[in-house]
Each structure stands twice: as C-alpha cells, then as structure tokens.
A = this chain, B = another copy of it.
Amino acid sequence: MKSKINGVPVPTLKRLPLYLKIVKRMKSEGKAFVSCTDIAQECGSDAIQVRKDIASTGVVGQARVGFNVSQLIDTVENFLGWRNKNEAFLVGVGNLGTALLKYRQFKENGLNIVAAFETDNSKVGKKVDGVKVFNLTKLENLAERMHVQIGIIAVPGEYAQEIADRMIQGGIKALWVFSPVVLKVPDDVVVEYVLLSASLGVLTSKLNNQ
C-alpha cells in the first residue's frame, strides 16, 4: 500500500522517467526499435533491471528485436500519467519558484503550470515565463474554478503547511513540495517531497567516507 503504486515499486517509478528520456532521444535519432540492453548501456544500469522495470508498464516487446520505440514511449508516458497534461498551481515566486516556472523540461513531463501565487505585491500582476502571478488570496477560488489537481509549494518552510491547507481547500489532490518540512494532509491527498538536504546528505556522507 505504502511502498507500491499500482503494484509497481517506487524505485521503478523513479527510474522510468530516465528510460523515457533515453528512448525519446533514440526516437529523434531515427531508431525504430530498442532493447533493454541498449537502454541499460545509456543509463549505466543493468539490462535485467531495465527489463523488469519496463515490464511493469505492461508494454509488450518482440524477442530478438526489442520494443517498438514509439509504442514504448506512449506506454511509459501513459503509465506515469504524463499524457494527461496535468495542470498545476505554484505558490512562492522566489528564486526557486521562478526557476521552476522557467524550467522547460516540465513540458516534456506533461506538467503545465497555469498560474503562480505570491503575497509580495511587487510580484503580483506580473508574468514569469508567460505565467501570471496572482495574489495569494485568489488561490482557493481559482483552484476550484479551474479544477487544478497539482499544487507546487516553493515557499519558506514556516508557511508551507498553511499553503498546503489552502490548496487542499481549493480541491487540489497532489502536492509537490520543495519546502523542507513534513506536511499533515488528508489520506486522499498525494504528497511528494523534493528534499535537497536528503540528496546532499548522501553526497557528503559518501565523500567523507570514501
């Protein structure tokens, strides 16, 4: 329940986007079929693991040939929910928020940030990379009216819980959290944290013990 989504391990979910990226590049290079061995080579991983991961998306390959590149891309994208053009709100147009608004990669991942919110009035009314910045007071109302499902939280830690509460109030069902805090949310709300300190901890531990 906790560690598997749809019967698929979370580690697998985390590797799929990388495979997708590799296969997309191969497609752009004109390749029609790709084997797990090919993918494994590109991502410095193991062919057996790649095969297992890809198998969990349900795509069917051909022995001795591999997978149809276009079909593989379609299936993986669908599996990740990247075909749904997920619309998102972002709260906190600081340095990180701005960086996220300008991050082109998201368009490849089916994420469409449709509005941003701030308390700082000097930012309200402006546009960042084509996305309009609203006053935070509009959050719940707009979320409800636009049926937005994803909320991106890029505010200082002390405000994150309040923003989360208000997003949920507005009907948002998934939170992508860049603030270094643990949030309390209802069971039906999905939360995913991007904790830079966790990643940095792995790096510095390795560095200091090798």
A 138-187 contacts with B by CB, 8 A: 149-150, 173-174, 176, 180, 182, 184
Given contacts A44-B182, A149-B207, A192-B206, whether A201 and B95 have CB atoms under 8 Å apart is: no
Query: Mind listing 18 A-B residue pairs with CB under 8 Å?
Result: A5-B202, A5-B209, A6-B205, A21-B180, A21-B197, A42-B182, A43-B182, A80-B204, A95-B102, A96-B99, A105-B196, A109-B197, A109-B200, A150-B204, A174-B203, A190-B206, A190-B207, A194-B196
Which residues from chain A sit less than 8 Å from chain B, CB to CB? 5-6, 8, 10, 13-18, 21, 42-44, 79-82, 84, 86, 94-96, 98-99, 102-103, 105-106, 108-111, 149-150, 173-174, 176, 180, 182, 184, 188, 190, 192-210
